[in-house]
Structure 1
Amino acid sequence: MAKDKKPRRPRAETPKGFRDYFGAEVAERNQMLSQIGEVYHLYGFEPLESSAVETVEALGKFLPDVDRPNEGVFAWEEDGDWLALRYDLTAPLARVAAQFRNDLPTPYRRYAMGPVWRNEKPGPGRFRQFYQCDADTVGSASVAADAEICAMLSDTLERVGIPRGDYLVRINNRKVLNGVLEAVGLNPAEDRATADAVLRTIDKWDKVGAGGVRELLTTGRKDASGAFIDGVGLGNDVADTVIAFMQAKGTDAAATIANLRDVVQGSASGTTGIDELEQMGELLAAQGYGPDRTEIDPSIVRGLGYYTGPVFEAELTFEITDAKGRVQQFGSVAGGGRYDDLVKRFTGQAVPGTGISIGVDRLLAALRAKGRMDGKSVGPVVVTVMDKGRMADYQAMVGELRSAGIRAEVYLGNPKNFGNQLKYADKRLSPVAVIQGEDEAARGVVQVKDLVLGARIAQSASLEEWKSQPAQREIARSDLVAEIRKMLEQEG
């Protein structure tokens, strides 16, 4: 008789394209979300928490993985309907705005924060689950709404620790690009597929440059791996006009506007887009958002097909060193624009909208790259256990500390080996350990061990410093809260 096989144990590993987040990372993200929320709230936006699951029909045909329609999401069938995890926070907003249109104010100003999921090929720093932080105005066709979003984005970056001079909010308008296409005989309304292909191609400008974009717009090119990528099939004269549009940025906003007017001559759509760009620049300048914070840049396209007017990106301009020691700019951490047709899909009525989405994980990575976040957190004060029979006394200590707003915990492992308790406190990055045995309890005192100072003294191995600043000392039990608060303040 064959022996029964042992049950297969599951592998303890995260699925491909996903990762786990621990203590300091979660704390830093929560802090950033709180800071971003403060700015959004200051501008009058209200929070919204929508479902993480939407119908595929509600998500529409604007999925991020254009080479695999309807496969850019994690989807499953249930009772004849296809459901999917949301791939961004804008498509759910369009559904909410349509579903509750009779209850919501117009315009509806909301912000949302949370994870999104994309069923795309993962790579270094590219995950299938990541956080976004959005703010949108639905129901206003005014260019002032777009300008306000750009101003708020600027304020948000500065609030989280990106100083002026280290970022730029770059602005363009899809109508201008449509005007360029019309000027060369390509009508986006009649040939949406080709127009979208052009958009996706010029969105690669930063990666492949003018020459690469020209090849992709015409006959195609080989990528870095040697694989051939088919071109859009445009003629050289059409590609030249598109390239001229991408290079229309002048020495200042006025020069850029003039260059764009030359490129889109004869296009009503293009002229309207340029007028909107000019108006946005005036509105931003009136509020003090000048060229050190915002600029008009024709190279900003945004890849998603639902944008219909102004589009914008926040680019971090400082340099970092990659894993191979190469110096490069950090790049974009936020993007958005105007989408006037998303809600219309549900209602049949035109409902204008505009908004921004911040990539929280990229923004955190930028702050760490600049040394403004260290990925470390301060652990709780640890009250050690010298006598299991006196657990109530130890719990009373942490109760007093917590009531005073000091993070604290009692060691709940095996107390037999006191050294293990201190190792635990070190692993928890605890600033202070509290020690009270029978003798200390009888005398009404406790020992407090400054673990931060102790580690510093251990590194310097200075006997003089150890004598002048003992890391462990005895205090009155009644002074526990006051003394620990003082120690924490001294350590910052």
Structure 2
Amino acid sequence: MAKPKKTPRPKAQTPKGFADYFGSDVTERNAMLRAIGEVYHRYGFDALESSAVETVEALGKFLPDVDRPNEGVFAWQEEDGDWLALRYDMTAPLARVYAQHRNDLPNPYRRYTMGPVWRNEKPGPGRFRQFYQCDADTVGSASMGADAEICAMLSDTLEAVGINRGDYVIRINNRKVLNGVMEVAGIAGDDKEAERGIVLRAIDKLDRLGPVGVRALLGEGRKDDSGDFTDGAGLDDAQADVVMGFMDAKRDTGAATVARLRELVSGSDVGEAGVAELEEIAALLDAGGYGADRIEIDPSVVRGLGYYTGPVYEAELTFEIKDEKGRPRNFGSVAGGGRYDDLVKRFTGQEVPATGVSIGVDRLLAALRATGRIGSQDHGPVVVTVMDRDRMADYQTMVTELRRAGIRAEVYFGNPKNFGNQLKYADKRNSPIAIIAGTDEFARDVVQIKDLILGAKIAETATLEEWKGRPSQFEVPRADMLAKVQEILNG
């Protein structure tokens, strides 16, 4: 009789395109989200938490990864035949929420939301299938003031989380201007929708592919470093020249850029309307004190999603970092958005103007870490070690006293037999302090306090005179424990 096959153990590994986040990763993200939320709240936006699951019909077909049609979302079919999917961004769910509850919401409706989104895309280095977004949108206003406000708020937000002025720029364009350019180039009309989509995605890749790569995608297509070939838009040289001229329209001043754009779209009503909107946004931002050192007009900004109908904007960090091969490069985009006046119309049948921005939380966190603005001072909890198992109630009293004073603290709950292991645990937790008390200390009503921060410094620089006479462990009366811990932490 054959032996029954053993069921193989499951592999303990994260699925491709996903990641696990520990300790400081989560606390740093939460701190940043709080800072962003405070700016959004100050601008008058209300919080909204919508469902992570939407019907596929409600999400629509606006995914940026159109090379994988109908595979861009994580979806499943219900018993009743309906298809549901995890949200791929925060904007499509907002359109559904507004259409569903519009009679109960103020008009305009200003909301912000934070949370994970999921995209069933091909994973790669730095490209995950689950990531956090932080959005703010105004629904129900056609005023360019709403777009200008979003850009001003984005500028304030970047500075609030620690990006210095001069280390970022918010770039603004208008999809209507690009539509005017494509009209002049002869690729307007419903029969040219596929070509326009390729053109939009090609321009959106300018930073990554450069002018030569974009030009190839406007024509027959290009082969990437892996040998994969991407079909192009099939434009002839004259048409491609018009599009490339649009991308090269940025001048030294906003006024000069606008003048050049007006030349490029001459004869196109939609293009000229887009230029006028850019002028209005620039004037409003200038009135608020947001100059070109923070926000500028840049025709190269397109945004990949197909639902944008007017102004589009992107926040780029301009400082240099090193890539995985040690080469310097600009950090790049961390946020983007724009006006999408047709999205709610899918539900209501009536045009509802809307505009908004989305911050890539993980990208922004990576930027802050790369510049040392977070992550360097993240200490773990104070650890109360256990020398006498029969005194657990006393140890619990100590940790409660620390916690009530607002100090992060814990009692060691591992095997206390080997005291060295307790200190190794504290080191692994990046603990700033260890509290030590055994039978002798309890008898004398004292505790030993081990300053692990100072101890680490002494270990690194033990030969320096400056550390002599500064013990990293000392005894204090039990009644003074809290005050001494606070002194060290505030140190």
Q: 1:359, CA displacement in angstroms?
A: 0.4
Q: 1:456, CA displacement in angstroms?
A: 1.3
Q: 1:382, CA displacement in angstroms?
A: 0.7
One-letter code of the match for 1:358? I
1:77–1:83 CA contact under 8 A, matched in 2? yes
Q: TM-score, normalised by structure 2?
A: 0.97
SS at match of 2:102: coil
Q: 1:226, CA displacement in angstroms?
A: 3.6
Q: 1:360, CA displacement in angstroms?
A: 0.7
Q: 1:463, CA displacement in angstroms?
A: 8.4
Separation in structure 2 between the aligned mates of residue 488 and residue 228 of structure 1, nearest angstrom: 57
Which region of structure 1 is more displaced relative to structure 2, 140-149 or 4-13?
A: 4-13
Q: 1:209, CA displacement in angstroms?
A: 2.3
Separation in structure 2 between the aligned mates of residue 454 and residue 205 of structure 1, nearest angstrom: 51
1:137–1:353 CA contact under 8 A, matched in 2? yes
The corresponding residue for 1:34 is 34
The corresponding residue for 1:474 is 475
Pair 1:295–1:155, CA change in 2 (3 A)? same
1:318–1:329 CA contact under 8 A, matched in 2? yes
2:168–2:318 CA contact under 8 A, matched in 1? yes
Which region of structure 1 is more displaced relative to structure 2, 258-267 or 369-378?
A: 369-378
2:108–2:141 CA contact under 8 A, matched in 1? yes
2:320–2:329 CA contact under 8 A, matched in 1? yes
SS at match of 1:392: helix
Separation in structure 2 between the aligned mates of residue 261 and residue 464 of structure 1, nearest angstrom: 70
CA displacement, residues 291-343 of structure 1 (integer Å, 9 cap, x when unaligned): 10010000001111000000000011111111212111111010000000111
One-letter code of the match for 1:312? Y
Which region of structure 1 is more displaced relative to structure 2, 256-265 or 178-187?
A: 178-187
2:196–2:233 CA contact under 8 A, matched in 1? no
One-letter code of the match for 2:233? V
Q: 1:375, CA displacement in angstroms?
A: 6.0
The corresponding residue for 2:254 is 253
SS at match of 1:362: helix
The corresponding residue for 1:156 is 157
Pair 1:270–1:76, CA change in 2 (3 A)? same
Structure 1 residue ranges without an equivalent (≥5): none
1:439 aligns with 2:440: yes
Q: What aligned pairs does 1:40-439 form with structure 2 within 5 A after superposition?
A: 40-79=40-79, 80-189=81-190, 191-374=192-375, 377-439=378-440
Separation in structure 1 between the aligned mates of residue 102 and residue 364 of structure 2, nearest angstrom: 33
Pair 1:188–1:25, CA change in 2 (3 A)? farther
Q: 1:376, CA displacement in angstroms?
A: 6.1
SS at match of 2:414: coil
Separation in structure 2 between the aligned mates of residue 165 and residue 331 of structure 1, nearest angstrom: 14
Which region of structure 1 is more displaced relative to structure 2, 366-375 or 260-269?
A: 366-375
CA displacement, residues 195-227 of structure 1 (integer Å, 9 cap, x when unaligned): 222211221222222232222212223322344
2:195–2:233 CA contact under 8 A, matched in 1? yes
Separation in structure 2 between the aligned mates of residue 299 and residue 215 of structure 1, nearest angstrom: 16
One-letter code of the match for 1:407? R
Q: 1:183, CA displacement in angstroms?
A: 1.4
1:172–1:301 CA contact under 8 A, matched in 2? yes
SS at match of 2:67: coil
One-letter code of the match for 2:161? V
Separation in structure 2 between the aligned mates of residue 182 and residue 323 of structure 1, nearest angstrom: 41
One-letter code of the match for 1:161? G
1:24–1:376 CA contact under 8 A, matched in 2? no
1:434–1:449 CA contact under 8 A, matched in 2? yes
Q: Which runs of 4+ in 1 moved over 4 A?
A: 463-467
Superposition CA RMSD, Å = 1.4
2:383–2:411 CA contact under 8 A, matched in 1? yes
1:28–1:375 CA contact under 8 A, matched in 2? no
Q: TM-score, normalised by structure 1?
A: 0.97
Q: 1:467, CA displacement in angstroms?
A: 4.9
Q: 1:439, CA displacement in angstroms?
A: 1.2
Q: 1:482, CA displacement in angstroms?
A: 0.9
Separation in structure 1 between the aligned mates of residue 216 and residue 422 of structure 2, nearest angstrom: 64
Q: 1:149, CA displacement in angstroms?
A: 0.3
